[in-house]
Amino acid sequence: MQRHHNGEAVEETPKLSSTIYQMTLAGLVLPSPWHVVANAFAAACILAIGHPMVALLGFAACCAFDAAHGRVIRHWMATSKGVSVTTGFRQLAVLSAARASVYLAPSAFIALSAHPAELILFGLQAATLLALGLSAGVLSRWVFWGLAGPGLAVAWR
């Protein structure tokens, strides 16, 4: 599948000569409608347990971050040739930590109430990000900790 970045075609499918960094970037590209559906589901869960304003703000923040995240990943894919795997994964880890933090912020905020439903929702989101970290971070400990770290840090607290 091809996308365009600054008017140039960007191939999203890694080639045989791709580095593990480039393959990881390709695996993180997901069409925007899927992100919107996932964010709407998270917002509906928050709304269902009685936090309409947090659901609305969380949905807006996650959708905005997903749009920016997608642009950054596609830019990195277009400019990934010649990038050191170590440097690329460390940059990706920072972006992954920011992404996980934005996703967890609404449920972490409502979990401060210490009510069971809010704590369960936070636990489910943290576990989902841990599983995503295991999948996306299979080739890099930095990416694993970027995705899993924020949820584990908040749960530890």
Q: What is the pLDDT of residues 28-84, one digit of tens each?
A: 888 889 999 999 999 999 999 999 999 999 999 999 999 999 999 999 999 998 899
C-alpha to C-alpha distance for 56 and 137, rounded to whole angstroms: 30
Residues shown for the chain: 157
DSSP class of residue 2 equals E
φ, ψ at 8 (rounded to 5°): -110, 145
Longest CA pairwise span in the chain (Å): 51
The boundaries of the domain holding residue 41 are 19-156
Report yes or no on 127 lying in a domain: yes
Q: Which two tokens stand for residue 93?
A: 């880890």
Q: Which of 30, 32, 62 is CA-nearest to residue 46?
A: 62
Q: What is the pLDDT of residue 19?
A: 86
Domains in the chain, number: 1
Report yes or no on 5 lying in a domain: no
Q: What is the pLDDT of residues 82-138, one digit of tens each?
A: 899 999 999 999 999 999 999 999 999 999 999 999 999 999 999 999 998 998 888
Report yes or no on 13 lying in a domain: no
Report yes or no on 87 lying in a domain: yes
pTM: 0.82
